Amino acid sequence: MNNFRKELKLPFKRIEVAHILVAVILLFNALVFTEHQTAFIIQIVLGILILLHHIDDNILKDSIIKYIDKLNENNNYQETLTESNHNAIIAINKNQEILTFNKKAEIIFGFTKDEMIGKKNLNLIIPEYFIEHNGETSSFQADDTTHELTGKRKNGDVFPIRISFGINNKSTIFIANISDITNEKEAEDEQNRLVKEIENTQIEVISTLGTAIESRDKSTKYHVDRVSLYSKKLALLYGLDEEEAEKMKLASPLHDIGKIIIPDHILNKPGALTKDEFEIIKSHAQAGYDILRRSEREILQMGAIIAYQHHEKWDGTGYPQKLKGENIHIYGRITAIADVFDALSTPRIYKKAWKSDKVRAVLIEERGKAFDPVLLDLFIENYDEFLEIKNSLL
Ligand SMILES: [Fe+2]
Ligand SMILES: [Fe+2]
* Cα distance between residue 34 and residue 24, in whole Å: 14
pLDDT of residue 57: 60
Least confident of 76-80, 136-140, 218-222, 357-361: 136-140
d(CA 334, ligand 1 centre) in Å? 13
Q: Are 291 and 258 in contact (CB under 8 A)?
A: yes
* Cα distance between residue 5 and residue 59, in whole Å: 11
d(CA 307, ligand 1 centre) in Å? 7
Instruction: Kindly identify the ligand whose nearest atom is closest to the C-alpha of 285.
Output: 1
Q: Which residues contact 137 (CB under 8 A, 6 or more apart)?
A: 130, 131
**Rounded alpha-carbon distances, angstroms, from residue 129 to 107, 124, 223, 338:** 20, 10, 56, 55
Q: What is the pLDDT of residues 79-133, one digit of tens each?
A: 777 887 888 988 888 778 888 899 999 999 999 999 999 998 888 888 877 655 4
**Rounded alpha-carbon distances, angstroms, from residue 37 to 40, 91, 118:** 5, 15, 15
d(CA 150, ligand 2 centre) in Å? 52
Rounded CA Rg of the chain: 40
pLDDT band at 199 (very low <50, low <70, confident <90, very high): confident
Tell me the mean pLDDT in the region 327-350.
Answer: 94
Q: Of 152, 232, 247, 259, which residue is the catalytic one?
A: 259
* Cα distance between residue 240 and residue 254, in whole Å: 20
d(CA 213, ligand 1 centre) in Å? 11
Instruction: Kindly identify the ligand whose nearest atom is closest to the C-alpha of 287.
Output: 1
Which segments of 52-116 does DSSP mark as H helices, in order? 58-83, 103-109, 113-116
Angle (nearest 5°) at CA 100 between 95 and 105: 120
Least confident of 30-44, 167-181, 283-297, 341-355: 30-44
For the cut 50, the answer to whether the pLDDT of residue 168 exceeds it is yes
| 339 CB-contact burial (10 Å; exposed 0-12 / middle 13-18 / buried 19+) | buried
| 269 CB-contact burial (10 Å; exposed 0-12 / middle 13-18 / buried 19+) | middle
d(CA 284, ligand 1 centre) in Å? 7
d(CA 185, ligand 1 centre) in Å? 46
* Cα distance between residue 187 and residue 195, in whole Å: 12
pLDDT of residue 7: 44
Q: What is the pLDDT of residues 203-256, one digit of tens each?
A: 888 878 887 877 777 656 688 889 999 999 999 999 999 999 999 999 999 999
For the cut 90, the answer to whether the pLDDT of residue 202 exceeds it is no
Phi-psi region of 343 (alpha: psi -120 to 50; beta: other; left: phi over 0): alpha
Neighbours of ion ligand 2 (CB under 5 A): 256, 339
d(CA 255, ligand 2 centre) in Å? 6
Q: Which residue has the higher pLDDT, 123 or 305?
A: 305
pTM for the model? 0.60
Q: Which residues contact 232 (CB under 8 A, 6 or more apart)?
A: 245, 246, 248, 249, 252
Q: Is 98 helix (H, G, I), strand (E, B) or coil?
A: strand
Q: Which residue has the higher pLDDT, 82 or 187?
A: 187
For the cut 80, the answer to whether the pLDDT of residue 329 exceeds it is yes
Per-residue exposure over 208-224, b if at least 16 CB sit within 10 Å of its own CB, e if not? ebbeebbeebebbebbb
For the cut 80, the answer to whether the pLDDT of residue 31 exceeds it is no
pLDDT band at 4 (very low <50, low <70, confident <90, very high): very low
Q: What is the pLDDT of residues 361-370, one digit of tens each?
A: 999 999 999 9
Tell me the mean pLDDT in the region 302-307.
Answer: 96
For the cut 50, the answer to whether the pLDDT of residue 1 exceeds it is no
* Cα distance between residue 252 and residue 26, in whole Å: 78
Q: Which residue has the higher pLDDT, 125 or 310?
A: 310
Instruction: Kindly identify the ligand whose nearest atom is closest to the C-alpha of 343.
Output: 2
Average pLDDT over the chain reads: 83
The reply to whether 259 belongs to the active site is yes
Instruction: Kindly identify the ligand whose nearest atom is closest to the C-alpha of 284.
Output: 1
